[in-house]
Structures are given as C-alpha cells and as structure tokens.
Amino acid sequence: MNILILGSGGREHSLAWAVLQNPKCDRLIVAPGNAGIAGIAECAALDIMDPGAVVGFAEEESIDLVIIGPEAPLAVGVADRLRESDILTFGPSAAAAQLEASKRFTKEICDASGAPTASYGHFTDAVAAHAHIDATGVPIVIKADGLAAGKGVIIAETVAEAHAAIDDMFGGAFGSAGAEVVIEEFMTGEEASLFVLCDGTDILSIGTAQDHKRVGEGDTGPNTGGMGAYSPAPVLTPEIEARALNEIIRPTIAEMTKRGMPFQGVLYAGLMIKNGAPRLVEYNVRFGDPECQVLMMRLGAQAMDLMHATADGRLAECKADWAEDHALTVVLAADGYPGDYQKGSVISGLDTCPEDSFNMVFHAGTTRANGQITATGGRVLNVTARGASLREARDRAYAIVDRINWPEGFCRRDIGWRAL
C-alpha cells in the first residue's frame, strides 16, 4: 500500500514509525514532515490545509490510504474532500470534527446523549461571561470555544485570574478560537485519556494513557500541549473503562449518527475520574500528542491494520493485541515554552540514542540545516521507551534524555509520578 500521513509533529513521527513496521506498507510519504521523519520516510512540501491540494497530491502519487494527524485539516474538511474522491481516509468529517473544534458543540452533544460532564455556560460576549464568574466563583475553567493548539484552556484559581482570562480571550489572545467562550465547573479527581477507534458503526478501544499538561514538575505552572505521557493509565481500570464506553462514548457516537454526522477515525476522550466514576473533560478527534507516541510504541505494526480497517468500515473484525508492557515519553521543550522561546538552537547527541522497538526519539519541532538538527518549535523532541514496568520504561527514557546535548532545552523529570 502507498500511504500518506499529514502532519509534522511527534505524533506523525510515531505514526510513521508504526506504519513502517507493517510489511503491507510499500511506500510512505509524510507531508510536510520534519527532520526525524525525513530519516525514515519521504517528506513532501504540501499545504495540508488545502483540501484540493491534498486530493490532487494523493491522486498523483497513487495513495491508497491517507492518515490525517492534526485536528486543523480535519476541521476544514480535508477528510470530506478525500472521501468524495474515493480515497480511503482515516479521520472524521468536518461536521464530526466539531467534537474538538467547538467546545459548545461537544457540550450540546453531552446534554443530548446524557454523557456525564462538567456543568457549563456558553458566552459570546465578555459582559455576560464576567457576570457568570462573579455569580459562580472559583476555581473555574475557562475555555476558548475553537481550536487553540491545546492552549485555550485556563484553570482560574482566583476571581482576578478568571476575569483576566475572559479579557484575554475576547481580546483576541487566541484569535477566532476565543470569539466564543465556554466556562465550566472545575472538576476534581484524576485525569486520564481513553482512545477509541470508530468506523461510523462499530467501536474498538485501543488503549489508555495519562498526559502531563502543566509545564512544571508536580503538575504546576501553565498548561502546555503536553510535557510527557505514559500508557497504560492504571487509574483507568477495566471497570472504569467499561463505564466510560457505555456512559460516554457509545451515547456520543449514537447521537452523532442520529444527527447525520457519523464519526469515523479515532476519538480521544479526556476523562476525569473520581470515586470510580468517569466524566468527560473534552473530546479530541485525533491521536493525542504526546499520547500517540506511547500508544504507537505499544501497538507497533498492528496500528496500520487498525487504522486501515477503520477507514474501510471493517472494525467489527478487529481487536487490539497488546504486549503486557508499559511505555513512557518525555517531551524536550525549548527554554521559555509555553511562553516565548527561541528557534534555531542546535541539538547534538541524537546519533548516540538507540532506535528500536523499545527506544525511540520522535521529533516534534526540528529541521536539518547544514548537517545539524535544529529546534524549530516549542515542543521539540519526544524521548520514548518501553519496559516491563512503568519504572523500567521511565528509567530507559531518562537515560536517553541524558544522552542528548541541548543546553537551550528542558524537560520535566517527574513524568509518570502519579502512577509511580
């Protein structure tokens, strides 16, 4: 099969790595890719936000399957255009992608399907939002309604912080994503992620993970796109997972189908778990980043077969065969992230890092210039390892981290602390 993956981050590097383990993959192109991906696959300069350009490229290159990595191309309808051209595609329609692209839409789906989630209010002007905060108090969660690259969520612990967040969002800090705002109850408990494939009819749970959103150790400081993750997540026991599937996922999928927008792709449910009961924090309509990295390390070659079956409507005949092990990934980020950071610093030592089915450095924001790997983003590398235990996976990952020479970067040293 000729396969095209859209995206340029650590998620896409791990997807490419997993796809290449499968002998059914004859040719792999990643657009636009990054320095790490270029070492294992063809990279193509392609505007992945242009549905017509993606379709034209797929036809020219005789692509059999397109795997869409990021959420933004899904929201603009790239999957719709590919399917209209009879190109097999892994990823939901623009209508179904609203589960991530609009917090308000997701809350409406939860209301209609009875899926447990935080109480909320939806606002289109700052005055009403400020009044709601004064009436409700803190702590409270303030979310930009649209896509904000994982950064449009503020957990306000003081009234002043809450009002400042409202002013920032309606003032344009998150662009059009903040034109509408959802204000939610602050839920307590332990957060974890459940990943489910859906082909429009059938669903298949393919794993659990736990992310570390805050920039600082002990889960302190501002939210980020994710500073590390591990899989499986012990807090998501088989009993709690079954409740999440029956009380949240299946009702959501049924409601989407009822509305004429059946979901096809991966549905990533962020869950808050307290006293054995899960509630939905949010949905994403693509693999998490960096959760994808640990899932792909554990799934390996079968990941391609599962995604192919999802795109082809054959999920009922599939199951996920897990190795009884653990995976953990550590994000190396540029100094200053998630605030202002410098680009262009040189990273060395990568050639000394092992790359095999138990140890990988996935690139997220890199390029190759003058024979050197340089940093081009905030989150730059994902150092990932597997082990028989979570502790072993953690120790392997940090041993690789210590081989990398990048004075302008940093990482959290406590990834996995909740489980350990």
The pLDDT tens digits of the residues spanning 228-256 come to 999 999 999 999 999 999 999 999 999 99
> What single string gives the DSSP state of each residue in 31-47?
EE--HHHHTTSEE----
The answer to whether 115 and 278 are in contact (CB under 8 A) is: no
Helix (H) or strand (E) holding 334: strand 326-334
- pLDDT above 90 for 418: no
The mean pLDDT of the chain is: 95
Q: Give the Cα separation of 398 and 401 in Å (integer).
A: 5
Q: Give the Cα separation of 11 and 296 in Å (integer).
A: 9
What is the pLDDT averaged over residues 120-147?
92
The pLDDT tens digits of the residues spanning 311-355 come to 999 999 999 998 789 999 999 999 999 999 999 999 999 999 999
Q: At what angle do helices 159-170 and 126-136 cross, to 10 degrees?
A: 160
Q: At what angle do helices 291-299 and 10-20 cross, to 10 degrees?
A: 10
Q: Give the Cα separation of 237 and 208 in Å (integer).
A: 10
Residue reference for tokens 């004859």: 26
Residue reference for tokens 């998630």: 338
Identify the pLDDT of residue 150.
67
pLDDT band of 369, cuts 50, 70, 90 = confident
Task: Indicate the pTM of the whole model.
Answer: 0.93
Backbone phi, then psi, for 200, in 5-degree steps?
Answer: 100, -20
The pLDDT tens digits of the residues spanning 273-307 come to 999 999 999 999 999 999 999 999 999 999 999 99
The pLDDT tens digits of the residues spanning 40-99 come to 999 999 999 999 999 999 999 999 999 999 999 999 999 999 999 999 999 999 999 999
The pLDDT tens digits of the residues spanning 146-163 come to 888 767 888 899 999 999
